Chains A and B, each alone.
Chain A
Amino acid sequence: MIEATGLTKRYGRTLAVDELSFQVRPGRVTGFLGPNGAGKSTTMRLILGLDAPTGGRVTVNGRSYQELPAPLWEVGALLDARAVHGGRTAHDHLLWLARSNRIPRRRVGEVLELVGLAPVAARRIRGFSLGMAQRLGIAATLLGDPGVLIFDEPVNGLDTEGIRWIRDLLRSLAAEGRTVLVSSHLMSEMELTADQLLVIGQGRLLADTTMQDLIERDSQATTLVRAPHWERLRELLEGRGARMQPDRQGRWRVLGPDAAAIGRLAADHRIALEELTPRRSSLEEVYVRMTDTRVEYRAGSPASDRPTAMTSNIGG
């Protein structure tokens, strides 16, 4: 269990984390979602006592991190898989960590086996691929068999097989009753992994909800329409207050009247339809819409300057 109340962190004039209050509960995967620069990593560093909060408080299992008598037995955290000394072997890296919390030496071999690095245990980390480094970082989090696990962007730079492996691992850790907090800027990844979502933008909490609630409450019903005489239909739809955007396949996305209403309207005016597809916006679109106004740094390319999520081609 991780609990933050009014957690605030200011770096000079920048407010990185702004009055965050949330609880991360055991038994499920909690996705910590937000665009780059939203304050996810800073929040994790505050949880782990690496940075001191400007205001508020955050506890792990009811205590601040500094008060944990043997932290690695309670919390495993992976912030940056590359933050290892390249000159050490995988085994030695885990050995010094084990020593630091009086974790039995045999545990080093066990976690190396668990993440599939046993064959390269005696090799220097310098030669590891990013995927291997990620696995080593995950092995380190599991050393003390902790009840709370924290991962910052664990799938970054991994191939499909590695991503699937991490996804299954996170789900099984949560199924064992552990508290699992995973950050990502990729909604599509969270959609497959997380049960609970914390969404932040510019350091503020935008949503603390289950995945299902988020889709149902915040997604918009749209209809994809293709018609040979589109202009006539368009005038009729505009008369009923619909909003429309073209997509790349020559269809139009209609927001407002549902598919049945559009179908009736077309039939009444004898307009032929080639396609009429109801669809809900994907979680990705919900997320983009939610964080759009909150994104601090935006790329200058026209593609990222879309006015609303409606015009996004993701999933279209």
Chain B
Amino acid sequence: MPVKIEQRGAGFVQALAAEWTKLRTVRSALWGPAAMAASVLGIAVFVGATRSLQPDDTVLGGSLTGATFGLLVGASVGVLVISRDYAAGTIGATLMACPRRGVVLAAKAAVTAAVLFAVALATCFLAYQVGTVMLPDGYAPGAPMPALLGVALCFSVTGLLGLAGGTVLRHPAGAITTMVAVLLLPSMLGPLLGGWERWVAGASPVAALQKLSQSSDAAPDAVGSLAAWPSLWLVCGYALVALAGAVLVFRRRDV
């Protein structure tokens, strides 16, 4: 074939192109981001129509009520970016095409984070517009910028947690269940933990999301007094640690 040797390659850029192509060519892969957008927007419309808002809530916080559920879907999107390969058996072809496993996982992480960021930003911006139009006057609007960027980033990072979980656990159903538990249990079991609640529940991506969206759910005794952005950086920090752990497992394990 008339292609020069120096033009050949299987590095990060190629892995990224391959992962992006894989994602956009499977119809079921579109359902995740679509379900995420639909749940956030649907609940925003519901909240607007029923005016179910606490008096001390903001329009931004009320509009993003569905973002917590959307976050669970976002984690599943991250899980599926790798567990879909394990379920179909294409993990073998993926690693034969690019045997440097850290590069493969980095490409999957980049695709996951970018897709979730774009979809979440557009969706949450729209949800805020819905709230602004539908909710009655009298509520504080909240500060949408740069909070919405933080919310979108929170989706990306949660997707990366899902990717790390999917890499380690491999099976889609098991990994999704685990991720849902990891995201929901801290706030569900929080009241049982007494003084620890604000530390355990406060470190969850859900807490960072609620603080960023300026929701009345983000009370300091439930989710800690750490401010919105530091909460997000904390989540980013342990998501990267989880991803690094996943790289170690992924590199050592037989396919």
A95–B84 Cα gap in the complex (Å)?
Answer: 18
Q: Is the CB of B14 within 8 A of A83?
A: no
Is B225 among interface residues, defined by CB-CB distance under 8 A? no
Q: Is the CB of A83 within 8 A of B21?
A: no
- A71-B10 CB under 8 A given contacts A45-B255, A92-B25, A99-B21: yes
A103–B3 Cα gap in the complex (Å)?
Answer: 8
Q: What is the size, in residues, of chain B's interface with A at 8 Å between Cβ atoms?
A: 33
B41 to chain A, nearest CB (A): 26
Q: Is the CB of A66 within 8 A of B100?
A: yes
Is B9 among interface residues, defined by CB-CB distance under 8 A? yes
Chain A neighbourhood of B98, CB < 8 A? 71, 100-101
Q: Is the CB of A99 within 8 A of B8?
A: no
Mask for A47-88, Cβ within 8 A of B = 1, else 0?
Answer: 011111000000000000110111111010101101111111
B3 to chain A, nearest CB (A): 6
Chain A neighbourhood of B15, CB < 8 A? 100
Is B54 among interface residues, defined by CB-CB distance under 8 A? no
Q: Is the CB of A88 within 8 A of B10?
A: no
- A140-B255 CB under 8 A given contacts A85-B84, A89-B25: no
A49–B98 Cα gap in the complex (Å)?
Answer: 10
- A83-B99 CB under 8 A given contacts A71-B10, A100-B17, A102-B10: no
A96–B14 Cα gap in the complex (Å)?
Answer: 9
Is B136 among interface residues, defined by CB-CB distance under 8 A? no
- A70-B254 CB under 8 A given contacts A84-B88, A104-B3: no
Chain A neighbourhood of B84, CB < 8 A? 85
Chain A neighbourhood of B8, CB < 8 A? 69-70, 73, 101-102
Q: Is the CB of A95 within 8 A of B21?
A: yes
Selecting from B89-97, B148-156, B191-199, the interface stretch reads B89-97
Q: Is the CB of A97 within 8 A of B7?
A: no
A2 to chain B, nearest CB (A): 14
In the complex, residue of chain A having the shortest beta-carbon distance to the beta carbon of B18:
A100
A172 to chain B, nearest CB (A): 17
A68–B22 Cα gap in the complex (Å)?
Answer: 23
- A85-B96 CB under 8 A given contacts A70-B10, A92-B21, A101-B10: no
A96–B18 Cα gap in the complex (Å)?
Answer: 5
Mask for B157-183, Cβ within 8 A of A = 1, else 0?
Answer: 000000000000000000000000000
Q: Is the CB of B93 within 8 A of A140?
A: yes
Is A195 among interface residues, defined by CB-CB distance under 8 A? no
Q: Which of B1, B14, B254 contacts A99 (CB 8 A)?
A: B14
Mask for A94-126, Cβ within 8 A of B = 1, else 0?
Answer: 011101111110010000000000000000000
Q: Which of A51, A71, A95, A145 contacts B254 (CB 8 A)?
A: A51
- A84-B9 CB under 8 A given contacts A50-B254, A65-B99, A96-B22: no
A107–B28 Cα gap in the complex (Å)?
Answer: 27
B157 to chain A, nearest CB (A): 26
Q: Is the CB of A72 within 8 A of B97?
A: yes
- A50-B88 CB under 8 A given contacts A96-B18, A99-B14: no
- A96-B25 CB under 8 A given contacts A101-B10, A102-B8: yes
Chain B neighbourhood of A79, CB < 8 A? 92
Is B145 among interface residues, defined by CB-CB distance under 8 A? no
Interface residues of B in 88-136 (CB under 8 A from A): 88-90, 92-100
A81 to chain B, nearest CB (A): 10
Chain B neighbourhood of A50, CB < 8 A? 92, 95-96, 254-255
A137 to chain B, nearest CB (A): 9
A50–B1 Cα gap in the complex (Å)?
Answer: 27
Known: A104-B1, A145-B1. 15 other contacts (CB 8 A): A50-B254, A52-B252, A65-B99, A83-B93, A84-B89, A84-B90, A85-B22, A85-B26, A85-B88, A89-B25, A99-B21, A100-B97, A101-B8, A102-B9, A103-B3
Q: When A and B form their complex, which 9 residue pairs have the shortest distance between CB atoms, in order from nearest?
A: A83-B89, A100-B18, A92-B25, A100-B97, A70-B8, A96-B21, A51-B254, A85-B88, A99-B17
Q: B interface vs A, CB < 8 Å?
A: 1, 3, 7-10, 14-15, 17-19, 21-22, 25-28, 84, 88-90, 92-100, 252, 254-255
A-B contact pairs, 13 of them (CB 8 A): A49-B95, A52-B252, A68-B99, A69-B9, A71-B98, A84-B88, A85-B84, A86-B88, A89-B25, A99-B14, A100-B14, A100-B17, A103-B3
Q: A interface vs B, CB < 8 Å?
A: 45, 48-52, 65-66, 68-73, 75, 77, 79-80, 82-89, 92-93, 95-97, 99-104, 107, 140, 144-145
